[in-house]
Structure 1
Amino acid sequence: MLLFGGAGVAVSLLSRCWSGRGPLSHRAWMAVSVRVHPSPKCLFDEPVQVRVSGLSPLQQVTMKASLTDEKGQAFRSFAFYRADGQGELDLSQSPSLGGHYTGTEPMGLFWSLTSGTPFTRLVKKDVASSPLYVNIEVFDGHGTLGRLPEQPLAASINERWFMKEGVRRIPVREGRVRGTLFVPPGDGPFPGVIDMYGSVGGVVEHRASLLANHGFLTLTLGYFGYDDLPMDFTNLDLEYFEEAVNVLRQHPKVKGPGVGAIGISKGADLVLSMITFLPHVIAAISIGGCNANTLGNLHYKNITLPGLGVSIDRVKILESKLIDISEVTNNPMDEANKDCIIPIEKAEGHFLFVVGEDDKNWNTPLYVQQAVEKLKENGRENYEVISYPEAGHLLEPAFFPFCYASFHRLVGLHVIWGGQLKPHSLAQVDLWPKIQTFLRKHLEKQSKL
């Protein structure tokens, strides 16, 4: 029998709880329910409390979460729990005893979601019209995903949206600039931010939409592999990014005169070049980035930064058709590569360097160390460094499922990104508000010219 719990979409199953050791207590015929607090609908980066009631005292259960992405790929997680003496279970207070994670982790079921298809990365493309639905189920006993009872004791659905009410999504096709603008509700003015990803190409919108929910007017910028833009980034000109900065600055709701920029991977070295050469970029966040211009050439006026080279013979071939490219990129400090180094010591703005110490895309800890040394040598103190042990390359907003390996567009093969499930996921939870704090610190104190 299914009882639908109104707006909560909570489902209670009137079922006889059975532990395999004989009949349970008088609660055996009571309705078990799963509730998501404070609401079954929330933003993707918001934490929730998962609570189960109606269990028998000290009953062993398995909690399972699952979602299906826009490509039809299934992600699942599970963890073992024991109810308290009143037959209640609160994931914010009770520790997981095993499964995909252990310990008291209120959002563990969410950040430990793992694809059944190897090397799959969750990317939300339609951020405007549909959420990700996370189905949360509770099963009797401690099982495995392949050996859970056919019927759950109870289930609930958590809708995780990427745009809150009032945020506007506006495709941008102005001059050469291609991207998507996310405008927070209200009159503003709002701090303006340019958001970029790396070798995945195209326009990636999920981080920009989430930033807009927090009051940042964000332009997620395409720079290759999108619309009529070049198909690769072997030759980029910084004037294109300068044009994008001006498009953002000219928006009537943007607080100026300066804007921020956030980038990951190739996007990270681009934001370092932007803050170095473009005076209106005053805050730059480099996630898993390099202190040199990488791969292709970058041109600006009469300046050209060559792309930092690679040595293919340093590729490591691993099991399961994976490769490790962490040592492929050359050392920027070698004499032959010094022309590739971005002269960040000339920047007047502020830097936030984010390091995953187990980054397997490239040697981010070394590159950030070199960047900081260059700033110190020139008497600069305009930087912050956040470093996470056992975190990999793909540091996403809070609660994104961990991706250890996936297809690399440029390499043409599946590569490992590094990191370990729990420390990487907790790093994402820790980093996300710090990104927002950094941007507010350096953008909100401005006055509009």
Structure 2
Amino acid sequence: MFGGAKLLRCGAGIRRLHRAGMAVRLWLEPGAQCLFDEPVRVRAAGLRPLQPVTLRAALSDEKGQAFGSAALYRADERGELDLSRSPALGGHYTGTEPMGLFWSLSPAAPFARMVKRDVTASPLRVRIEVLAGHWSGDPRELPAQPLASCVNERWFMRDGVARVPVRDGRIRGVLFVPPGNGSFPGVVHLSTIDGELGESKASLLANHGFTTLALGYLNHDDLPKSATDLDLEYFEEAVEFLRQHPKVKGPGIGAVGISKGGDVVLSMVTFLPSVRAAVVINGCNASAIIGMRFKNKVICPGVGYSLSRIQFTDSGVAIIVEAMDEVSEENAIPVEKAEGAILFVVGCEDMNWNSLSYADEAIKRMKKHGNERWQLQCYTGAGHYLNPPYFPFCYTSYHSVIGTYTVWGGNAKAHSLAQEDMWPKIHSFLRESLNS
């Protein structure tokens, strides 16, 4: 519900309004198809001057989970709307937000997180409608027909990108190769601890000119479902696989990781000289939960957690930010040894763990030893699940380690704007670090 506003019915059940012979039109620029991380311009025309309308967006992910958003607008004196200039007056957001309908998409069912694992078969389709009047959000007051509608197809692979399943030695994953005859910077992408490969993010990186390996490390294919320690030699094997690939421009490799994948990436850049650039998104400065060994020696003991420090909201959702044990000098990753450059990306309202403190401690170690090969991007209001632009904000969902629904933190607008800002910065960082 949007503040108790009532629906102003303007010809209920009429699909199109006519003004001076002009039908209501809703369209997207530059077109109805785009890559998932690309913006579109939403425009409407043929409305009455200053007519109150509601714009609504909806999509279903590949698991059938529904997401929706809506915002209240008023046409200008010419009966037109342009979301790059027209301010929203209420709904899921307010103010001038060109992509507000997309970043404010919210799950219809609680605790849902948008999933896109099959990046080849079909896009995610966002249906956009313009409705007469200011809709309250009550389904009983929804007009029978929109005045106009259109569909935005948001793809994850541009034409020519190759998706290649990888089972080479111990390596399990999927390789995405950009189109063209040349070689490209090579990047290993590591997702969260739950076994998801993160193909959606790896394919989007390939669209931007990176040969990207979405690497499994737990609970994927024939890899172990759990482990006491991870083997850094496995990740070294993946780095060498990329370095030898004909579509990879060496000699150095980049690595991008989020959450548990973030601390693995931090170990990679610390101990593997061939890793010349690492992007750590809301990671830990120690080996969280699962330790890291190298050549049969534990190099980073796992940092545990205590269930007794978990708190719960009134609705029973876990708040686990204080559950992790403290990182000590003995189990911190000796990141000062890193020869490659490191970009720390932090959501300051991360409620999974204290990502900002972990990044600060890692940078403090590097400064103490005269290592200045680091950058830090902090985002106020952003939570844990920082993704490429226009992924719906996820505040709560199931946590596979804790075994319950947890709070990830942040707020939708700040988190989404952080995603828009960080994505090109990650591309620039990788290019500059790997091409130098």
TM-score under structure 1 normalisation? 0.92
CA distance in 1 between counterparts of 2:249 and 2:18 reads: 62
1:328 aligned onto 2:320: no
C-alpha distance after superposition, 1:312-363 (max 9, x if no partner): 211011122210000111221xxxx332110000011100001111000001
Gaps of 5+ in 2: 1-8
Give, in angstroms, the shift of residue 144 of structure 1.
Answer: 2.7
Shift >3 Å, 4+ stretches:
none
Q: Note the aligned Cα RMSD (angstroms).
A: 1.5
C-alpha distance after superposition, 1:370-420 (max 9, x if no partner): 111111101111000000011000000011000001001111100110000
SS of 2:330 mapped into structure 1:
helix
SS of 2:19 mapped into structure 1:
helix
State the AA in 1 paired with 2:122.
S
1:128 aligned onto 2:128: no
Contact 1:199/1:408 (<8 A) preserved: no
Partner of 1:315: 310
SS of 2:226 mapped into structure 1:
coil
CA distance in 1 between counterparts of 2:136 and 2:183 reads: 51
Instruction: Check 1:150–1:19 CA distance in 2 against 1; reply closer, same or farther (3 A cut).
Output: closer
Alignment of 1:281-292 (within 5 A): 281-292=275-286
Which of 53, 75, 91 matches 1:83? 75
CA distance in 2 between counterparts of 1:28 and 1:322 reads: 54
CA distance in 2 between counterparts of 1:120 and 1:293 reads: 28
Question: 140-149 vs 323-332, which deviates more?
Answer: 140-149
State the AA in 1 paired with 2:29.
H
Instruction: Check 1:26–1:395 CA distance in 2 against 1; reply closer, same or farther (3 A cut).
Output: closer
CA distance in 2 between counterparts of 1:203 and 1:144 reads: 39
CA distance in 1 between counterparts of 2:236 and 2:402 reads: 29
Gaps of 5+ in 1: 1-16
1:163 aligned onto 2:154: no
Give, in angstroms, the shift of residue 29 of structure 1.
Answer: 6.4
1:427 aligned onto 2:428: no
CA distance in 2 between counterparts of 1:425 and 1:26 reads: 36
Alignment of 1:42-441 (within 5 A): 42-145=34-137, 146=139, 147-301=141-295, 302-332=297-327, 337-441=328-432
Contact 2:233/2:294 (<8 A) preserved: yes
State the AA in 2 paired with 1:323.
A
Partner of 1:14: none
Contact 2:380/2:414 (<8 A) preserved: yes
State the AA in 2 paired with 1:408.
H
Give, in angstroms, the shift of residue 26 of structure 1.
Answer: 6.8
Identical aligned residues as a percent: 57
CA distance in 2 between counterparts of 1:314 and 1:26 reads: 61
C-alpha distance after superposition, 1:188-241 (max 9, x if no partner): 210000001112213220000000000000000000001110101422110000
State the AA in 1 paired with 2:123.
P
Contact 1:202/1:223 (<8 A) preserved: no
Give, in angstroms, the shift of residue 25 of structure 1.
Answer: 9.9
Give, in angstroms, the shift of residue 304 of structure 1.
Answer: 2.8
CA distance in 1 between counterparts of 2:233 and 2:17 reads: 72
CA distance in 2 between counterparts of 1:151 and 1:176 reads: 55
SS of 1:231 mapped into structure 2:
coil
Aligned pair count reads 422
SS of 1:338 mapped into structure 2:
coil
CA distance in 2 between counterparts of 1:19 and 1:357 reads: 47
SS of 1:435 mapped into structure 2:
helix
Question: 230-239 vs 349-358, which deviates more?
Answer: 230-239
State the AA in 2 paired with 1:306.
P
Question: 382-391 vs 293-302, which deviates more?
Answer: 293-302
